[in-house]
Every structure is written in C-alpha cells, then in structure tokens.
Chain A
C-alpha cells in the first residue's frame, strides 16, 4: 500500500513538473515581445528594453525558467506584472472562493447522482427514463446557460437570491448562502447529469454480477445486498467519474463565476489572460495542475480502499 501511494505521489509530481515546464515554455516563447505588449505601441524602444530588463525578460529562456522553478519550489510564484500583487497570495485567496463553490457542487452532485443512479438501476421503468432524460439534457445544455437561466428566473423574476456578488462566509453565513446557492446549483446540474448516468450504469453492472445472486441465495435481503455489496463495487467506477467531474466543475466555475460576478479564480483567469499577465497565468496553471494531481491522488487512495485488489497488489 505504501509503495502504491509513493508511486502515485511520484507520478503526480512528474505530471506537475511537465505541465508547468510546458506551460512556461509556451507562454514565454509564444508571447512575442512581452515588454512591448505591456507598455503599449506608443512606448519608446528604450522604455521597452528597460521594462524587459526589469522583468528579467532579456535573460536566456533557460535562466528565466530555472529562476522561476527555484522560486516556485519555495512557494514564490512571482508578482503580477500589472498590479504587483504576489501571485501565490492572490491565487490562494481566490482559490478558496472557487473551491467552496466546487466542493459544494461536488457534494450535491455526489449525493443526488448516487441516489438517482441507484434508484434508476434498481427500479428501472419510469425512474430509469427520467434519469436518462436528466442526463442527456444536463449534459447537453452548457453550464453557463443554466446559470443565465437561473439568474433570469430566481434572481430577476422572483427576487429570491442575489443575482450577483459574493459575501464571505466569515462575514455573514446567511449572505454567503444567498450568494452561492445559485452558482452551486448551476454547477451541480451539469455534474449530476454527468455522474447519475454513470452511477446507474455501474450499479446495473454490479447488480448483474454472479455474487449478487449468491449473496441473496444465502438469505440476505435484496436492499442489504444493494447497499453493502453492490454500492461498494459500483463505487470504483462512480468515483472515477466524480473525479473527472470535479476537474470539469473547476472549468465550469470559471464561467459560472463570471455570470454571478463572484471573485474567484475565474476572474483572475479572465483578467490575467486578457492582459497577458504571464506570472499570474503561470500561477493559475500551476494551481490547477496541483489541484488535479491532489484530486487524482485522493481518488486513487479511495479506489485502493474500495478495491482490495488495488490495495494488496
């Protein structure tokens, strides 16, 4: 088990290194004359050269990269070229906001999708068809359209929630709830659609396994077999889908945050990319990659817990 974890951590670190290196090369090589872009077309050649020297852009790329990497290893991702704000601090505070949305959506997704999926697999008939319709529609309609629809209906027509803005949980829990409910719902609908169908499939598969019949033949009630044995065996595939969905929800959050004007990673992503604030973009890429690696690690551990074959080999 220890070797299993170590191997996973190692492969995560390699992934992190490769992603950040590739991103660095692409961003700095593809950026053209970065100093010129920051200063604008009217700036003199001298000003541009001075700016490049100030940002260290006149050094060889490899030096710049090693410099960035050594700092990054100590947690220092540099400062924004436009605001001077520390990238790590700026991203950390925004990350918390986005994470609260995504975690909320993931929990709701997992609960609703498992209930719907198991229900559809066991009951079949109309429940099954309902879950299929939800899966298709939720998958097909982009999350931000759902978000726009929710704003139109609940915030503008009915006035039940604040249409935009964000209140910190520590400031006012009620205000926080009022501002995050719609974004979390908008994110969850797509997530539920993605996961419920998969849970249904995994449960249907597990129900067809021979051991289900054998366990029932020993006198175990059907529901007990479903909740103890079928769910546990369907858990592996379901978790894998949930992990993919979690990463997908992060992407979805970028757009949904924009609809609800929530100051999360999405806003950083949009301002930094439209300005060409490369240190901030790099920080974003690294933060995302770390998140992906951590989520995959957690899922791997959970898989090991669920599946003795993984754990013991």
Chain B
C-alpha cells in the first residue's frame, strides 16, 4: 500500500508509480475482492458455472442431443430434473453442455477484442503518428455502428457460426480496450518515470510491457468482465433470434426453443434465462466491485493525509493574542462576526467524523480587513467556507459558534443562509476561471443573483451589473457583459467575481486568496481594488492568504493558522514587529530572506500599489515583493 507522504497535492493512483499500480492490480485487488461479499459471491457463482460446464460429461444425465420422441416437452422426471425440450432432449444436459459453447464463444470474443484493442492502443498511444489517427478514426467508426446489425449482415454472407459471430463481435468490441489503453498510454507517455526508463536505455518494448501495461492492467481487467457479459448477452440474443448454429446447444438456442413453446411449457424459457441473467449480473457486479475497490484505494491517501495533519499537534495549544492598538481600532466599527471555538470535521469512509479545524476563534469588525494566513492545508479556507456554510460534501461544523450580526449562523437553516448569502455575506474565490459557469455569459451570472436576492427587474439588474463592471476597472463593460468566461483573461474574470461579490452590497466579504492565481502585475491592482471597495462599502473583510506580503499590504489584523489551529492573532503591526510564535516568525523570516535580491522589481510594483495604501512605510519594505515571491 502507499504510505501517506507529506505532499501538498494529492496524487492520483495512476500517477504514483507503475510498480505500485501493478501491485494493487495483482495482489491486493484480487485479495480484497474476495473479502467483499459481493465480489466473493460473484466469483463463486462464475467458478461454479464454469466448472459445471467443464465437467458437463460427468454431470449431465444424458447426451445433450439424445432425443426421445416420447418425452417431447415432457415435465421433470426421475433423472431428468428439468424436464424435456421440444425435441424430447433432456434440458439439464443441454444446459450443462450449452455452458461450454456459450462460455468459450464469449472468451473467444474477449481474446480477440483484447489482442486488437490493447496492441493497437499501445502502439497508437505510444508512437502516435499516422497509426494513431487512422486507428482512432476506425475505432470511432466501429463504435458508431449497432453491433447486432453488423453481426446480422455478417451472418448473411458467412452463414450461422457461433465462432465466426463471436470473432466478429470481438473485433467490434476492440475499440473499448483501444480507447482505454490509448487514454492511459497518452497520459503516462510523458511522465517522468517513462522518460527516465527511456534515458536508462530500456527498449520501447520493455517500457511498454513493464511501465505502461502495469498502469492499464486493472482497468483492462474490469473492462474484460464487462465485455464477457456483453458477449454472452449478444450471443444469446443472436441464437434466440434463431440465427445461430442450431447444431450445438447454447443458452440462446435453449431460450429460443423455450420461447417457441412459451404456452405449452413456460419453464423452458425460465432455466436458460436464469443462467444467462445470473452470469451477466455476476460479471457486471464483479466489474463494479473491482472498480469501487480501485477507486477507494485512491481516496484514503487523500483522507489520511488530512487526518495526519490534524494529529500533528493534538493538544489544545494556547493562542498568542496581541491586543489591539489605537491604530488598528481607529478604522474599525462594531463587531460583525465572532467565531468561537469552531471545529470542522469531515465524514470518513468507514463512518465517523475526523476534525480538520480545531477550536478556531476570531473576530471581524465592520471596516476591518482581517488576514487569515497559513500554509495550504492549515484550515484557513475551511474556516472561510464554514462562515458561508458552504463546506464541501461531507463537511460539518462539529463544534463552536459563528455569530454574525448577533445570530449564530452555525445552526441556521439552509433557507436562512440563502437569505444571508450575497446580501450580507459575500465571497470572492481563489481561482477565477473555474468559478464562473462556462455555459452562461458573464452578464447573466451577475444579473441572475441580483434579480433573485434584491428582487429587482432584469433591466435594473443589467444596469447595475454594467456599473459594477465599470467600477471594478473593466475597460469595456458592455463587451465583457456579453462574453463567455472562456473569452476573458484571468485578471478580468477575477474582477468580474469581485463585482459579483459586492453586487448586493454585503456587510462581510470573504476573499479566499483572491490574488494567488493572477499575474504579478494584476495582483497589486486587484488588492488595490479590494481595498477601495472595502472603504467605499465599509465592509468587514476576511482575507484568506498564504502571503504575508498581502497581509502587510491591506490587512488591519491578522490570524495565523497552522494544522487547523490558530497559533497567533493580533493587529498587523504587532505581529510584524513582535511575532512570538516560532511558526509566525518562520513565515516572516521566509519573506525577508526572499526579499533582498529583488530590489528593482519591488520599486515598480510598490509604486503601483502605493497610492491607496494607508499602511505605514515600514510594511512597504516587506510588501509587494513577497507577492512576487509567492507567484514565482
């Protein structure tokens, strides 16, 4: 199993390393499969049916083609538990022997599909070029046709043959493997471990076999189970239509015989139907269970990571609090938001809840910009989302209160929160592009919420949206209004999101790293815009950031978070000049170190940011360069 490593980004299973994927597929997947009740049952059923087909000569009461005229459509008799078919043949014997043909036929289709699909997928994905385009086009072509029509057409010229039909079906199914392998190969072709193998002098064949096949093995096994099921279904269907080879017993032929005699002996339909349904369901469940297991094996890495972070310092630590000075109080009005002892937890796959944020307390006053700073994973964004009550799936507030304008919104109903959002509490996200709905114009995404929350007409909302776009510094509001998100730049998109956030004049603005995803030059402009809007609307702002430069630039007070806890909080000057917690000190030291070699840039960027800046010159020295530092 993969050990959780202290990576900042979660890694997907297919990227980890081919050896790991290989082991997961080979050893633990099958082992774990046997430990799930569904997987075990499915495998047992399939093995049982395969064995009964294999040992049909020993198990069957009579020869499958031995007809006794006297027993036509006869009921169950001693030695013949399932009765006789329309030719007086023993149904149990035919059912057992039919398994041999039906299973072998399906296996033939699978092998052909596997060989063609996997080889073509490997070659096309790994080498690309003309083979890639031709085979991809062919795969699309083959997939576009209804398989049964092709099989029928083939039968018209080739005659009824189970093996030919299944071979053709194998060709028809090969795109399923082709696409799978092709996608995986193109995904890993440029991975470092493949390059490394190439540099190390491994031949292409070795790389393909060892590094790339390893990655696709598990998905191919899953796909195989599905294809086997489909092959049995289609083969039974063909025989059921009377288009198969009547000389051999297959499940489809039995079914056809039963259906033709539906009124005289309905049970004849039931037995082959049951067998086919059980086999198909078992194969599908097997594939599903394998897929679930494979998906689950990727998730714990992520979840455990969260858990591990929380455990780093399990004991409640004392928060270092710096008291407000005259300077920080001067700008601030009444208390807007008071978070007290807030904990946030996530549902765990095995049940239970694991806390990721512990005992966070902070206060935001009207007119204050409150910096919430920490590394990624410190819980600062979780804290911000909890104020909006928009935690991701499975996330809960497990303890504490969030009092906003005198009301504990930690316990508010969704309906009450909907009323608060937008008009009272607003949000600016981190990544501008993914936070605009790609299917709607920018204008409609601004107008819609205003119409709903402010209950104004479309024209009024439109007018207001255009004014807002102009206010946030968009050069041609009309054009941006009519544009789709993919048509504007990241900086423009972030301005649009800021316009949207302030569109209903909120009291509290939560800005989650609003400048992180932007170019350096745009960052300073956006901060300046935020500061001027904050002044104008006299909002309280929670500014989530990992960047002390941003804090120095526009914050009044700052709260430092680490591993889901607050470690130090106070006015920005007190933190800058008198940080006590070693973690805060190390964050500050990082900036100062990075700062020195970048003199010239500091000047140009700070010149732009300087205008609206009310903070003292002392912070200026620390300020915009660290913004640069974090972006580079």
Contacts and interface: CB of A to CB of B under 8 A. Distances in A.
Interface of A: 15, 18-19, 23, 26-27, 30-32, 124, 136-137, 139-142, 144-145, 148-149, 151-152, 156, 207-211, 213-222, 224, 228-229, 232-233, 247-248, 250-252, 254-255, 258-259, 269-270, 272-274, 276-278, 281, 284-285, 288-289, 292, 296, 306-309, 312
B605 to A, nearest CB: 28
B152 A270 contact: yes
Contacts of A31: 156-157
B262 to A, nearest CB: 7
14 contacts: A30-B157, A139-B284, A140-B283, A142-B233, A156-B262, A156-B266, A209-B437, A213-B427, A214-B436, A219-B452, A229-B439, A252-B148, A255-B237, A292-B145
Given A148-B259, A215-B445, A142 B429 contact: no
Interface string B497-515: 1001101100000000000
Given A27-B156, A152-B269, A247 B144 contact: yes
A306 B156 contact: no
B289 to A, nearest CB: 10
Contacts of B255: 148
Interface stretch (B213-221, B272-280, B596-604): B272-280
B251 to A, nearest CB: 10
Given A210-B429, A224-B452, A254-B152, A27 B145 contact: no
B507 to A, nearest CB: 13
A218 B170 CA distance: 53
Nearest to B146: A251
A26 B164 CA distance: 14
B280 A217 contact: no
B145 A289 contact: yes
Interface stretch (B25-33, B350-358, B415-423): B415-423
B153 A273 contact: yes
Contacts of B240: 144, 255, 258
A213 B390 CA distance: 7
B142 to A, nearest CB: 10
Contacts of B237: 142, 144, 255
Given A144-B236, A218-B449, A272-B156, 20 more contacts: A27-B156, A140-B229, A148-B259, A211-B438, A215-B437, A215-B449, A219-B419, A219-B504, A229-B440, A251-B149, A254-B146, A255-B237, A255-B240, A269-B148, A269-B152, A274-B155, A288-B146, A308-B441, A309-B438, A309-B486
A229 B141 CA distance: 33
Central interface residue in B147, B255, B277, by most chain A CB within 10 Å: B277
B16 interface: no
B156 A273 contact: yes
A140 B153 CA distance: 25
A288 to B, nearest CB: 5
B421 A219 contact: yes
The 4 closest A-B pairs by CB, nearest first: A219-B422, A218-B449, A251-B146, A217-B427
Given A27-B157, A214-B435, A254 B149 contact: yes
A288 B145 CA distance: 8
A273 B280 contact: no
Interface of B: 141, 144-149, 152-158, 229, 233-234, 236-237, 240-243, 255, 259, 262-263, 266, 269, 273, 276-277, 280-281, 283-285, 288, 385, 388, 390, 392-393, 414, 418-423, 425-427, 429, 431, 434-441, 445, 448-449, 452-453, 484, 486-487, 497, 500-501, 503-504
B269 A218 contact: no
A23 B486 contact: no
Contacts of B393: 124, 207-208
Given A217-B388, A217-B427, A306-B439, A281 B156 contact: yes
Nearest to A246: B146
A207 B266 CA distance: 48
Central interface residue in B146, B255, B445, by most chain A CB within 10 Å: B146
A214 B504 CA distance: 14
B448 A220 contact: yes
Central interface residue in A209, A222, A251, by most chain B CB within 10 Å: A251
A228 B444 CA distance: 12
A306 B236 CA distance: 39
A139 B225 CA distance: 13
Central interface residue in A149, A216, A217, A229, by most chain B CB within 10 Å: A217
A307 B439 contact: yes
A265 to B, nearest CB: 9
A224 B141 CA distance: 40
Contacts of B141: 15, 18-19
